[in-house]
Each structure stands twice: as structure tokens, then as C-alpha cells.
Structure 1
Amino acid sequence: MEQNIYFDNGSTSWPKAPGVAASMTKLLESGAFNINRGNYEGAYELENQVLKTRMQLARFFHAPDSRCVVFTPGITYSLNCLLKGFLKPGDHVLVSSLEHNAVMRPLCQLASQDIHYTMIPAETDGTTHPESLEALIRPETKAVIMLHASNVCGTILPIREIGEICRRRHLFFAVDTAQSAGSVDIDMQKYNIDFLAFTGHKGLLGPQGIGGFLISEALDQELTPLIAGGTGSQSDSLLMPDYLPDKYESGTLNLPGIIGLHAALTYLDETGISAIHQKKMALTGHFLEKIREIPQAHIVGRQTLQDRLAVVSLDFPDYDNAEIAFALEQDYGIMTRVGLHCAPMAHQTLHTMPQGTIRFAFSHFNTIEEIDQCIAGFRELFSV
């Protein structure tokens, strides 16, 4: 068995896109200046690269303007900006029953401020029906907040249909694209998305520590910045700028991260996310077909490629999932993620609490041969 087979791309992608490390090294070695502060050529050149990255993201997510692209340290930070800067006492929101703790923990904190949520029910494979949402809307409901695809089982939620309901019912619509960005096309305007949170280090193939959000003009008028401080603009005022993106970008940005993300987005543009998605789904289909030959393994969630991403969770009801994951890594060099994946509500929905699952998340850099080696490892572990 070959060693070091990486199947934990749902946690973070590896390897990163070609050019990411080199671009970050070049910045740090040849001129890690600061934008909006330095009044010299190197700072202006770097500011232009940051602007180009905003424009890439605006095109990538079909946003109306690059000014609505805001950089943050990551998607969890972005979601906190929304939840804690928008919701007020007495407000109510709807969330999916598959949500990550990046949404659920802030909402639980906000419960002490008389802010409430209701979960949209899903089936045991993660399938969510848009029509079940409307009956849950209250007069005080302000928004629907949901992930685009489950980080546990890969099921894709019907955000287009739900976005239409939100527009018709005058609700803001926020989408967590942690697992889907870089794998499938996401059209902010077509899907009526008011707040699109993204992270750079998963499907976008960039470095950790950089993410952000894209925001509609209507929601921007309702959102209070979570963090205040220096922006390099309107420095004569003690008040935060009231325009995008400065309104939400206090302090020094993670410029090496943005430059690394710029290189990753360039790679995605050149390669094409459609081609990347096709490769990942071919690998997923092969894995699903072969894992069915292992009787001890139970596939959690959808059993086919329909309405799913390249994320597969397995449960071994008669075994300790953690011990199996440990054996895969120690004996065969296969790296996965085992446990509850920071999504206990999803595991409750999928009936995998408290044991959790072993998650396999594939990259287009993976190969059929690596999956076959993994299946061979399972055969050896279970003497199949």
C-alpha cells in the first residue's frame, strides 16, 4: 500500500492549487507592504492585486459588483458577522437541520438576547424539501440561513428554490458555501442570495486563514459591522466608513492569504470548475460502487451521485469508527476525518449520533488508484 493518501478535503484542500505557495512566498520575500496605508508604488501594486481578487470572486459568484466582496479570516467569522450584526431581540430565523456549528453556536449564544431559530426538517439522507419551509415562517422571521451542501454527507440543498421563496416572502437569504464553492457554479443573483459566505482553503484551493462574504445592497443597509477600527480610509472620523467594503474590513487584511487565494482562483478559472467537478464526482461514484462490496460499511446520506458533492460519510455500526479511521491512517496512510465534524445537528438528522462517521472528501488531485488502495485496505481490515 502506498502511504499518505489524503481524503480529508472537506476539512481543507491538499494539495493547494499550483502557484499558491509561490505567490505567497514572493509577496513575503519581495515586499509585504500594507494597502490603504503605504503611499508608495509597492503598496499600490499590492492594492491592485487585492482588487483583482475581489473582481475574481465577484465573477466567480456572479455578484453585481466587486465592492460587495468583503475579506475576513474565514467563513466562521463571516457567519458571525451576519448573525451578530443583523439579528435583534425578538427576531427569528430559519436554518436547515444539517447546519455546521459555525451557524448553530452563534445562534445559541444569541438565544440569551431573545433571538430564536427553527430548523427546516430534512430526511435521513439530508434531502430538504423547499415546501416545508413556508409553514415555518413567522411574522418575526427575518432570514433563512443554510449551508449549500452538507459537510457530513455531501447532500446538496435546494438553494435556488429556497431563494425564490425568500424573495417572495421578503426574507433575507444567507448561504454557507464552505463545501460547494469551487465545485459547482453558484449564482448569487439568480439564487436571490443576500449573503454568501465563502472560505478560501477548501474547494477554492487557497490557503487557510482567508475567507469572506458577498453581500447584497439591501442587506448591507441592515447590517452593523461586528468589528470597528482603522481602515486607512476616512481617518479623520471616529465613525466607521459607511460604504463597501471598508465598512466591514477593519484592521490589516491577511494579504498573503488574499494573494494565495488570487493564485488559486486563477487556477480554477484556467482549469474550469466544471471539469474539476466531473473528476471529483467520477472518483465519488467509483468509491460508492466499491464500498458497497464491504458489508460492514454503511453509506450515510444519499446513495447515488444525484444532488451530492464529493463528500461521503461511512458508519460501521458493529465497530468503533475512530478505531477504523486510526487503522486506515496507521496501516495504509489513508487520511480521513472521523467524529461529528462540528455538525451535531446534521448527525442527529442522519441518525449517526453519537458515534459519528468516517468522512471521505475527494479532490480532483486524487486518483482512481488511491480509491482502489483504500478499498483494498478495507478488504484487508475486514478480511473480505
Structure 2
Amino acid sequence: MIYFDHAASSYPKPEQVAFAMHEAVTSYSANPGRGGHKLAEQAGNVIEQARKKIATLFHAPSKKHVWFYQNATMALNQAILGFPFQEGDHVVATMFEHNSIIRPLEKLVLEKGISITYVEPNEEGIIDVRQFEDAHTEKTRMVAISHASNVTGAVVSIKDVGKFAKKEEIVVLLDASQTAGTIPIDMESDGIDLLAFAGHKSLLGPQGTGVLLSKGDYNLSPLVVGGTGSQSELLHQPQSWPNRYEAGTLNTPGIAGLAAGIDAVIEMGIEAIWEHEKELMDHFIKGLAGISGVTSYGPSDLSKRVAVIPFEIEGIASHEAAMILDEHYQIAVRAGMHCAPKTHETLQTSENGLVRVSFGPYNTIKEVDTLLEAIEEIRQAFL
């Protein structure tokens, strides 16, 4: 199987990820922070070291600002639904958002009476800071954006947005699920207040891992309350971090695997990963341009996108094309709406969706050529 669905979840994982998870289950499978015995302490130490590693990678103030969740969706829900919005408050988002941002925001429209402006991309398929400046009002409390579209790969210049938001005293929430591990991210210099991402994509960790980093105290209300392993005498959720935002037993094997995945990313080098995936993207887009009846979408400037490329084959529904690639060519891609309905509304592809190809650090030019040959054959078969 040739795997081109890294925007959904990376595969294969580095060997050390499986080893770390196996070790967690077989050597110290105790409850972290829920006991004074050696196994519980070992499990707790693994989690704290993972916090420290993540804080360092993304330049968070300290490890206590790193909170673990089951996935990026839960992290984003904590950031959005837990934020102290009041009726009449305003949020700026984009037409490129995943439903993990859209649905919590729209829930608040109904429940708290906030309003949302979704900014459109320009003719280049890019959303720049001027559009955020034009969209904000005196009531804008938050800018909630995906760092890169999970459909077109278009990247928002977060540093520019961060400078604008700081001047206007607007909180910046960034969903880095498509960029963490591919593009360097610095919470401090980029002006990011709340940073959410999945552990199972470009950070090469396992599914069941997500993270929210909070640069400061934005008075978030915890969405889940319960056991924290300490301060058990309190009848209410502790105020101390990270306990305030991490009720219940954490996914120790998953977090151990995520830490190992981050080690692999650091070893390869984020810049090297970016250059490799950019090379694959360039090769694929140029190859698609030579196949009649095939249209690809996304910015033409490859420096302004990650290696996520959507396309359509004239006369073939996206799901059918993906099924043929899977069953006849053993090539895994993603088809449909990609949980991003507003993106497809912008691209005018809502009726049939698109086929999405996304590359990872272990893919090769030879695999890309195999995909291009398959697309050419499919196109010829439907003429």
C-alpha cells in the first residue's frame, strides 16, 4: 500500500513510537499521579517529560502550560467553549476552517449569542492579515484559525496575524494540526495565545493524542471536571495547572508514543521534512498539470502551502476515484468534503468533493510517479 493520507493521520509511524508505547503498557502501566509507588511515579515522569518536550518545541512558557487531550477536536473545544465569551462578542475565523473550529463556534452563536465573520481567501487562494484587519470590530475577542487548510494546504502567516491581534488585544487561537511538525511554530514570537494540534499527524505520534497550549491565563472554564490525582480534598476542580484542565486518567501509552514521535521529527529536522514534502508536492502538481481533464486546487506559490493537494478528475466523482485508487492500485487517498464544508463552498466543489493527496516524510518521488500513472490510466479509462 502506498499511503498518501497524512493530513488525516501519518503512517507509518517511526519504530520508536511503537517501542515507547509497548514499554508503557508492559513496564509501567500504572496510573500517573495517582499513587506514590514507583510505577505510578515512572508513568507520571514520562508524561511530565513529554510536557517539557512540547513546551520547548513550541516555546510555551513552561510545561504546566501544556495540556493533554484525546485529540485536537477536544483541545479546540476546550479553547473555544471554555473561553469566557459574552453575548455580542465577535470572532474572526476563515472559510478554510475544519469543523473542529466551525462547530464549537456555531454552537456559541446559538447558546451565547456571539457572532462570527469567516474571511474569504484572495484570488491566490491565500488569506492574509489585511483580511483579518478588515473583519475585526471593537467586539472581536478572538481570532480562531487553522494554520494551514486541510483541503488546499494554504498557510496563514500567523506572525502577521499575531502582531495585528496583539495590537488590538484579541486572543489568537491557532489550530496547527496540519503544520505542527512540518512548519516551525513559536508561540512567543508568532503571537499565539492558544495553540491546539493533533499528535497523530506530522508529529508522528499515535491516535488518541491531542494538545492545547495556553500562553497565559484566559480564564478558560474546564469542560470536564473530576479526578486529578492531587488536591483530592477539594470539592471543586483545582485552580492549579495543568490539573484544572486535565480531569481523569491520561493516555500514558499515547503520550509516551507522542514524545517518541517528536524525537523522530527533531532528529529528521522540521526544515528537512518541509523541504522533502515540498519537493514531492512540486513534482505531483507539475505531473497533474500534464494530465488533461484533471484540475488541482491551492496556492501556486508552494512556499505558502503545506503538502496537501486536492484535485478532481473530470467526469469522475471523488469517492469513485479514491475507491479505484485504493482497490486497483493500492494507493490510499482521501475523498469527499474533508470535514471542511466552507472550504468546498469557496472552491465550488461541494457537490462532488475532491480527492485529496497529502504527503509525509517517508514518501518518495517513485511513489508519486506511481500515483500520477494511476491517475492518467483512470482518466483514459473514463474518456
| TM norm structure 1 | 0.96
Of 67, 70, 82, which aligns to 1:73?
A: 70
In structure 1, what is the equivalent of residue 202 of structure 2?
203
The answer for unaligned runs of 5 or more in structure 2 is: none
In structure 1, what is the equivalent of residue 192 of structure 2?
193
SS at match of 2:15: coil
SS at match of 2:74: helix
SS at match of 2:309: strand
Q: Is 1:63 the equivalent of 2:60?
A: yes
**In structure 2, distance between residues paired with 1:306 and 1:234:** 49
Residue 125 of structure 1: how far off its partner (Å): 4.7
1:341-382 CA deviation, whole Å, 9 max, x = no partner? Answer: 000011112222222110000011011111111111122222
**In structure 1, distance between residues paired with 2:351 and 2:367:** 30
Q: Is 1:31 the equivalent of 2:28?
A: yes
Correspondence list, 1:152-171, <5 A: 152-171=151-170
In structure 2, what is the equivalent of residue 91 of structure 1?
89
Of 273, 278, 284, which aligns to 1:276?
A: 273
SS at match of 1:94: strand
1:133-165 CA deviation, whole Å, 9 max, x = no partner? Answer: 222222221110000000001010111111111
Residue 61 of structure 1: how far off its partner (Å): 0.7
**In structure 2, distance between residues paired with 1:173 and 1:25:** 37
- Which amino acid counterpart does residue 11 of structure 1 have in structure 2? A
SS at match of 2:302: coil
Q: CA RMSD in A?
A: 1.3
**In structure 2, distance between residues paired with 1:128 and 1:317:** 28
1:309-344 CA deviation, whole Å, 9 max, x = no partner? Answer: 011000224322221111111111111000000000
**In structure 2, distance between residues paired with 1:217 and 1:118:** 25
Residue 124 of structure 1: how far off its partner (Å): 5.2
1:217-263 CA deviation, whole Å, 9 max, x = no partner? Answer: 242xx211111111011111112111211110000011111011011
Asked if 2 retains the 8 angstrom alpha-carbon contact of 1:9 and 1:362, the reply is yes
Stretches of 4+ aligned residues off by more than 2 angstroms: 87-90, 123-126, 316-319
Residue 90 of structure 1: how far off its partner (Å): 2.4
**In structure 1, distance between residues paired with 2:125 and 2:339:** 16
In structure 1, what is the equivalent of residue 241 of structure 2?
244
Correspondence list, 1:64-143, <5 A: 64-86=61-83, 87-113=85-111, 114-123=113-122, 125-143=124-142
- Which amino acid counterpart does residue 100 of structure 1 have in structure 2? H
**In structure 1, distance between residues paired with 2:29 and 2:87:** 43
SS at match of 1:145: strand
In structure 2, what is the equivalent of residue 229 of structure 1?
226
**In structure 1, distance between residues paired with 2:374 and 2:301:** 23
Residue 123 of structure 1: how far off its partner (Å): 2.4
- Which amino acid counterpart does residue 126 of structure 1 have in structure 2? G
**In structure 1, distance between residues paired with 2:79 and 2:26:** 35
**In structure 2, distance between residues paired with 1:287 and 1:65:** 40
**In structure 2, distance between residues paired with 1:314 and 1:62:** 36
**In structure 1, distance between residues paired with 2:141 and 2:314:** 40
**In structure 1, distance between residues paired with 2:138 and 2:366:** 54
- Which amino acid counterpart does residue 167 of structure 1 have in structure 2? K
Deviating more after overlay: 107-116 vs 196-205? 107-116
Asked if 2 retains the 8 angstrom alpha-carbon contact of 1:95 and 1:146, the reply is yes
Q: Is 1:376 the equivalent of 2:369?
A: no
SS at match of 2:181: coil
- Which amino acid counterpart does residue 135 of structure 1 have in structure 2? D
- Which amino acid counterpart does residue 210 of structure 1 have in structure 2? T
1:250-299 CA deviation, whole Å, 9 max, x = no partner? Answer: 00011111011011111112221111111111111111111111111101
Asked if 2 retains the 8 angstrom alpha-carbon contact of 1:125 and 1:155, the reply is no
Residue 112 of structure 1: how far off its partner (Å): 1.6
Instruction: Tell me how many residue pairs correspond in the alignment.
Output: 379
**In structure 2, distance between residues paired with 1:321 and 1:231:** 46
**In structure 1, distance between residues paired with 2:125 and 2:176:** 16
Asked if 1 retains the 8 angstrom alpha-carbon contact of 2:313 and 2:379, the reply is no
Asked if 2 retains the 8 angstrom alpha-carbon contact of 1:124 and 1:349, the reply is no
In structure 2, what is the equivalent of residue 10 of structure 1?
7
Asked if 1 retains the 8 angstrom alpha-carbon contact of 2:199 and 2:207, the reply is yes
- Which amino acid counterpart does residue 79 of structure 2 have in structure 1? L
Q: Is 1:351 the equivalent of 2:344?
A: no
**In structure 2, distance between residues paired with 1:318 and 1:71:** 44
Identity within the alignment, %: 37
Asked if 1 retains the 8 angstrom alpha-carbon contact of 2:28 and 2:42, the reply is no
**In structure 2, distance between residues paired with 1:304 and 1:132:** 19
